[in-house]
Amino acid sequence: MPDVITSRDNKWLKQFRSALRGTGPRDGEAIGVEGPKLIEEALRSGLEAEALLVSADGERAVAKIFRAAGASDAGIPSSRVLRTTDQLFEGVSGTESPQGVAALFKQRVWNFEDVLRGPGALRKAPPLVIVLAAVQDPGNVGTILRSAEAFGATGAVATRGTGDPWSPKALRASAGSALRLPLLRGMAIPVVLAQLKIAQVQIYAASSARRESGGEPDLREPAAIFVGNESSGVPAEVARAADAVITIPMADTVESLNAGVAASLVLYEAARQRNAAAKGEA
């Protein structure tokens, strides 16, 4: 049994505190993941654990975490299983009701081709990319990524000015999707647009505001859906470059939809069209 960490100034506790209470890791920094379910999801997705922190309250969850680690290629080094008191764990936790387990994971490195190609099961499908353009609320960021994975997106891009998908709040809202979906962070919008044009991917600007519809978009072919800021929508440069604007019909009494809801509806429509095409339906 390793020694129990009893000092709040311990270097590992400082690292966990920064990861679990911050706004997201910089390049090369560890991703902080809290709670047994998310940790198990991260391990099953193939992420490499740098350290596991456990308090007395979290001991009951350790066996399942170790089983998930044993089933992964990376696992958890025994020398990096750290234990501390419940009180000190609360001091590093980013949640109101800590579950006593947290982990630091190395970032997975994706490239633009990964985002277009998608994970193994989707590699024969046309690209379906969700681009978050200055979506700032971490709950919306996580919701969009969760819907993206659920509805078959091949990958996601979080442009500069977007809330970090690997921040603790966004990770929780994504229910682990942000750890599995091919994802690029911090790209400049002109670079994203240029890459999509080179790859011959249709660019769609999603609008949650009520306006005249331009007709139903064909999302069966390679497509990138841009979702904009909660208050100002997609940036002007995206609107100018877009091949079409996707609008969502709704009641006149409602001015607009939440960014996460709007993105989810558009992603569902893409999945519906693609599933129908796969079945040979009109």
pLDDT, tens digit, 9 for 90 and up, residues 34-70 = 999 999 999 988 899 999 999 999 999 998 998 888 7
All residues at 6 or more sequence positions from 83 whose CB lies less than 8 Å from its CB, including other chains:
1, 2, 3, 4, 5, 53, 54, 55
What's the average model confidence in pLDDT over 14-23? 96
Chain-centroid distance, C-alpha 90? 25
Would you state the pLDDT for residue 130? 98
Percent share of the chain, pLDDT over 70: 94
What's the average model confidence in pLDDT over 221-230? 95
Q: Which domains does the chain possess?
A: 4-105 (3.30.1330.30), 112-278 (3.40.1280.10)
Per DSSP bridges, beta strands 81-84 and 4-5 are parallel
Question: Distance of CA 202 to CAs 138, 194, 198, 259, Å?
Answer: 27, 12, 10, 21
pLDDT, tens digit, 9 for 90 and up, residues 118-156 = 987 656 789 999 999 999 999 999 999 999 999 999 999
**Which residue bears the tokens 């790209």?**
187
**Which residue bears the tokens 């994504």?**
174
> First CA to last CA across the chain, in angstroms?
63
Query: pLDDT-based confidence at 279, cuts 50/70/90?
Result: confident
What's the average model confidence in pLDDT over 181-209? 94
The model scores a pTM over 0.75: yes
Over its C-alpha atoms, the chain yields an Rg (Å, rounded) of: 20
pLDDT, tens digit, 9 for 90 and up, residues 82-122 = 999 999 999 999 999 999 999 999 999 999 999 999 987 65
Mean pLDDT for all residues in the chain? 91
